[in-house]
Structure 1
Amino acid sequence: MASVGVLPPIKKERLAPDHPPKTSSIGNEVMPPITQTVQLSFSKKGTHEERVRRRLKKLRQQLPLLAKVETYRIQNTFKHNLCLDILQGGYHESFSQIFNLMQLQQLVRLQAGPESVLWTKKLLHDEPEKLTVMKEWLTRAEDMELEEDFESVYQCYHELAKYFQTTCNEDKWISDTFFDLALDATAKLKDSDGRLMAEAHCNVDLHSRKIGSYLEATDHFEVFYQLTEDKPEWVGDTGDTLRTEACRQLCLIYSVTATKLGTNPHQRDQHLEYLQKAYDMANEGGGVHLEGVASYKLGLAYEKSRESEAAFKYLTVYKDACMITNDDKGLGKAYQAMAKSLQSLGKEDESIKHLEMFAEVSEQSHDDRALSEACSSLGEVFNSLGEYDQAVDNFTKAYNISRALNDDATISVARMLYGIATAHKMTSVYMRHIDCVEEKGFMGRLMEWKDARTEEIANSCIECEKVEYEADKVTDAQIRQQSRERQDTDTKEAEAEEANEDDKGSKDAEDSTESEEDASKDVEESKGATEDN
């Protein structure tokens, strides 16, 4: 029997894997065994400051090398660098304009003092955006000026002015400066029809009016008005002609100037003069509404100057304008003012008619406040004419409307007017009863009424007034009958006297004929006697 040999033991290496070797994903190659150990190191490589220092060093190495000029640009302010760029480009005029504006702003701020509001606002050299915009447009304008393209120069200054109009209210003076520069640029235009100059004057006028310089605006708008004469083809952005725009703006400026002059009683003539100019401009191109408003102001001014006929003329124009535009409120104002003018002229009946139309229009338009004014005005007119019943009725309406509106000031005035009219109404009856002292005990009742204010005396007064009225009717009829009888007797006596005069005349004629015959006989007898002798 053969002997079985024993296999030798498998020798394992110290770091050999226990499992069969793994193959790689690429092909079927066997990955080599790991023969080295990984040693972990827990030592710190420097402190935190050292790591930051090394990081900054790497960042510095990545930065490019800077020249001396570039270093200065980083150190200087934005204003300084901007001015250097402008000067390096050769734009000396642009630099002067920007620098002068900044200096002027600082000067105004210093003059105002540290307690002024200007010290809370930013200065121009601290606003990079505005300086950048100024640099862009001013340098472009300087280039266009060298090329004698003054139309482009005007556009550059105009854009700058519009930009500073939209920034803030404190920059309006900068906008004014560039509007003036744009106007100066239009004066250098050659072979131009004058439209750009007209628009430049208009822009300066509008800006001057916004900042309150109305006198300066008036001068520029008058030039604008003259330049647009006989130019119907010049149409603005709104679709209206520039001539129409000039008329409207002049009307507004003249009205504002007249309002300021109206506060001084020594400038009343100038006040009327400017209002007349405003009406003329509105009549030329202001439209129906603006013409009506101007005529209303002019009419009130003439009425204040006691020229009621001229006032009524212009107030009629305002009334017609309100009727065209369906302005019920304005129509009521027109009727009220016209009634006042008619009352000044002594035409009380027409004044009452206009006030009644004022009340009717106010009632139709549901304007209770205007209706209260109309009733009060009617009451005042009737009270002045002595028609106290109608005055009391109108004042009562005004008082009730004021109570409905809950207007304390109007209520107090209406109450006072109602009391005055009621007192006037009772005065005539009261005085008649004072004269009736013959009635027994009447004076005692009158004194009691003054203490208690009862209705008995009023009722008795009314009855007495009715009796006196009937008595007056009787006496009037008797007087008329007597006058008629007297007239009849007078006519009869006159006829009798005429008849007597006729008889006397005939008798005188007969006597005269007889005397003539006697005279003739005497003459004949005297002749016969002489012949006998």
Structure 2
Amino acid sequence: MYAEKQQLHEPFLPEITTDSSKHRRPQRRMKCQKETRQASDGSPQLLSKKEIALFRNSPKQFICVELLQDGYHRSFSELFSLLGLDEDRRAAADPESARLQSPPLGEQRDKLETMKLHLSRAEQVERTGFWSVVCEQRLLLGRYFSAPEDIWLSLYFYHSCADREKGGNSRWATEARACLADLYLQKGDLEKARQQAELCLKQAEEGGWLDSSGRPLKLQSCQTLAKIYNQLADFALANADYDMAVALNHKGYSMATECENKQIEGRAAFELGLTYQSSGDHDSAKQFFNSCMQIYSKLQDADGLAMTYKAMAKSSESEGNTSETLEYLEKSADICSSSGLQNRLADVCLYVGNIYYNMSQYPRAYEYFLRSYEVASDAGDVALLQKAQVLVGHTHTLLSMGKFSVDMESVSTACMKHQVVWRETGRHQDLSTEQSAASCHSLSDQSKMDKHTELLS
């Protein structure tokens, strides 16, 4: 009923009024909309000088002119210098490298705009003496240029932040040093990496600085130094300078214990144990391997435990303790088997097989070589598969020759039958017989090997 009453009182069409103002307003809006549509449809528009320059000039010219017009003369000089360095780098590159290079810096508008933004901000606050903000802007630029082709720019801006006379001990400058240490470590320049990391550690301890994520910069410096010292120790070890290698590994271990990262501490202990092992000090090596096993056990790191047990076995083998060697290797194999570490299991089985082979226990050696072959086959590790296949074949041949020799020396009827069958078939027979002096797998294992040779083709 209410709807029907509303329809009776409300007219079907709006009333027509004679007020002229009510007619003209919609016409003005329509006229404006019409002009806007015409402008968007491509009618001529007046462009500003800046918009004209944006289309007419190259990105390099446009950004440089803007810096000068806004009064940032130092930023202009720095940017212009970097553009020149980029041109020199590209000219000095060999043809193959030049072909793979990214476009010239002067043609990459986004990068130029980013540099203009942060350099002009840094110059503006530098005039007022806010040195920490200057460092912050340069640190942001260093982080921005993270792509591999821009590493040179990242190094430049990190250095321009960390090496400043004013603000060089600020939190931003200290973080820049941490970034420099990581970059030099990635490039393989260990001496420069160590120099920057040690300076960073000193400044971080003095200032108590935190990085951008709120983590103490001291921990980051210790972590980086641990990696650097261990890599330097590897070079010393390669040159048979065991004393220097041990000293460097001790420094790395000391840094690792302070970085509050048990994974890094365990790795540093393992590296130190390996260095002592290479120098012949197996007692010290076992001491650090035991520390390493304790850490990996708490972390439930199966790969680390398997690796450490194998290293312990090597030290025991060097000391002539075969039973202890096999005990450690069996533990390593059990961990690998239960954790699905197929590649490491294949390697451990080869190790055990070699020990039995050197002890002339060829059936046991054959058993472990075959197991290594099967595991490597399932894992698709062609390198281990090839190595295991050679050892399986060699050991199988030794066992066959031993069985044939026994049959030749014997005058029993069974041995004579074996010789006849051997001659007629031209193939190795099952070696796991009661009369055999050695116990190993039958020809079914050989057929299994033939089936897996497809991986080697």
TM-score between both structures, scaled by the size of structure 2: 0.69
Deviation at 1:180, TM superposition (A): 1.4
Name the residue aligned to 1:138: 119
Matched, 1:172 2:151: yes
Judging changes above 3 Å, is the alpha-carbon distance between structure 1 residues 145 and 348 closer, same or farther for their aligned structure 2 residues?
A: same
Deviations 1:419-473 (CA, angstroms, capped at 9, x unpaired)? 5556666888888898x79x8999999987985766799765759xxxxxxxxxx
Give me the whole-angstrom Cα distance separating, in 2, the residues matched to 1:393 and 1:429: 17
Is 1:289 matched up with 2:267? no
Question: How far apart are 1:105 and its partner, in Å?
Answer: 1.4
Is residue 184 from structure 1 mapped to residue 159 from structure 2 by the alignment? Answer: no
Match of 1:379 among 353, 358, 367: 353
1:252 aligned onto 2:227: yes
Task: State which structure, 1 or 2, has the greater radius of gyration over its C-alpha atoms.
Answer: 1
Aligned to 2:205: 229
CA shift digits 1:268-292 (9 cap, x unpaired) = 6655544343222212225221111
> SS state of the match for residue 211, structure 2?
coil
When residues 146 and 383 of structure 1 are mapped into structure 2, their CA distance, relative to the original with a 3 A threshold, is same
Question: Gaps (5+ residues) in structure 1?
Answer: 1-24, 28-58, 464-533
Does residue 179 of structure 2 align to residue 203 of structure 1?
yes
The AA in structure 2 aligned to 1:183 is A
Amino acid of the structure 1 residue aligned with 2:159: D
Structure 1 pair 433–85 and aligned structure 2 pair: CA distance change class (3 A) = closer
Question: What does residue range 3-14 of structure 1 map to in structure 2 within 5 Å?
Answer: none
Percentage of matched positions with identical amino acids:
26
Match of 1:490 in 2: none
Q: Is the 8 A contact 1:430 1:461 kept in 2?
A: no
Deviations 1:27-82 (A, max 9, x none): 9xxxxxxxxxxxxxxxxxxxxxxxxxxxxxxx99x96999xx99999976554454
2:333 maps to which residue?
359
Cα distance in 1 between the residues matched to 2:56 and 2:412: 115
> Which moves more between the two structures, 72-81 or 235-244?
72-81
1:107 lines up with 2:95 in the alignment:
no
Q: Give the Cα–Cα distance (whole angstroms) in 2 for the partners of residues 344 and 426 of structure 1.
A: 31
Residues 224-278 of structure 1 deviation map (CA, whole Å, 9 limit, x = unaligned)? 12223376x543344532221111111223344445666x546666555443432
* Alpha carbons of structure 1 residues 385 and 97: separation in structure 2 relative to 1, 3 Å: same
The question of 1:240 aligning with 2:219 is answered no
Compute the displacement of 1:163 (Å). 3.0
The aligned amino acid for 2:84 is: Q
Q: Residue 145 of structure 2 aligns to a residue in which SS?
A: helix
- Cα deviation for residue 150 of structure 1 reads 0.8
Verify the 8 A CA contact 1:183 1:200 in the aligned structure 2: yes
- CA-to-aligned-CA distance 1:7-35 (integer Å, 9 cap, x gap): xxxxxxxxxxxxxxxxxx999xxxxxxxx
**1:340 CA displacement:** 1.4
Aligned to 1:156: 137
Distance 1:449 1:287, change over 3 A: same
Other structure's SS at 1:240 match? coil
Partner Cα separation in structure 2 for residue 92 and residue 345 of structure 1: 72
Aligned residues of 1:445 and 1:457 also touching (Cα < 8 A): no
Q: Does 1:97 align with 2:40?
A: no
Relative contact order, higher structure (CA 8 A, sep 6+)? 2
Q: For the structure 1 residues 422 and 195, does the alpha-carbon distance in structure 2 shift closer, same or farther, using more than 3 Å as the test?
A: same
The CA deviation at 1:342 is 0.1
Change (3 A) 1:236 1:390: same
Contact 1:112 1:118 survives alignment (8 Å) = no
Conserved 8 A contact 2:135-2:173:
no
CA distance in 1, matches of 2:355, 2:47: 96
**Range 334-343 or range 451-460, more displaced:** 451-460
Residues 199-348 of structure 1: pairs in structure 2 closer than 5 A: 199-229=175-205, 234-259=209-234, 264-265=238-239, 270-348=244-322
Stretches of structure 2 lacking an aligned partner (at least 5 in a row): 1-15, 19-42, 439-457
Alpha-carbon distance in structure 2 between the residues aligned to 1:100 and 1:241 = 35
- 1:241–1:388 distance in 2 versus 1, CA, 3 Å: same
Check whether the contact 1:278–1:294 (CA below 8 A) recurs between aligned residues: yes
Deviation at 1:123, TM superposition (A): 2.7
Q: 1:450 to 1:133 in 2, by over 3 A?
A: closer
State whether residues 178 and 220 of structure 2, in contact with CA within 8 Å, keep that contact through their aligned partners in structure 1. Answer: no
CA RMSD in angstroms comes to: 4.5
- What secondary structure sits across from 2:205 in the alignment? coil
1: CA distance, partners of 2:47 / 2:104: 35
Residue 215 of structure 1: CA displacement? 2.9
Query: For residues 193-221 of structure 1, what are the alpha-carbon distances to aligned partners after superposition, in whole Å with 9 as ceiling and x for unaligned?
Result: x5444223113223434455443222100
In structure 2, do the counterparts of structure 1 residues 73 and 422 end up closer, same or farther at CA, with 3 Å as the change threshold?
A: closer
Separation in 1 of the partners of 2:47 and 2:415? 120
In the aligned structure 1, how far is the partner of 2:432 from the partner of 2:145?
A: 79
* Distance in 1 between residues matched to 2:333 and 2:118, nearest whole Å: 61
Does the 8 Å contact 1:247/1:286 carry over to 2?
Answer: no
CA offsets 1:447-501 (integer angstroms, 9 cap, x no match): 87985766799765759xxxxxxxxxxxxxxxxxxxxxxxxxxxxxxxxxxxxxx
TM-score, normalising length: structure 1: 0.61
Q: CA deviation at 1:338?
A: 0.9
Post-superposition shift, 1:130? 3.3
Aligned equivalents of 1:202, 1:402: Cα separation in 2? 42
The aligned length equals 396
* Paired residue secondary structure (1:294): helix
Q: 1:203 to 1:387 in 2, by over 3 A?
A: closer
Q: CA deviation at 1:311?
A: 2.7
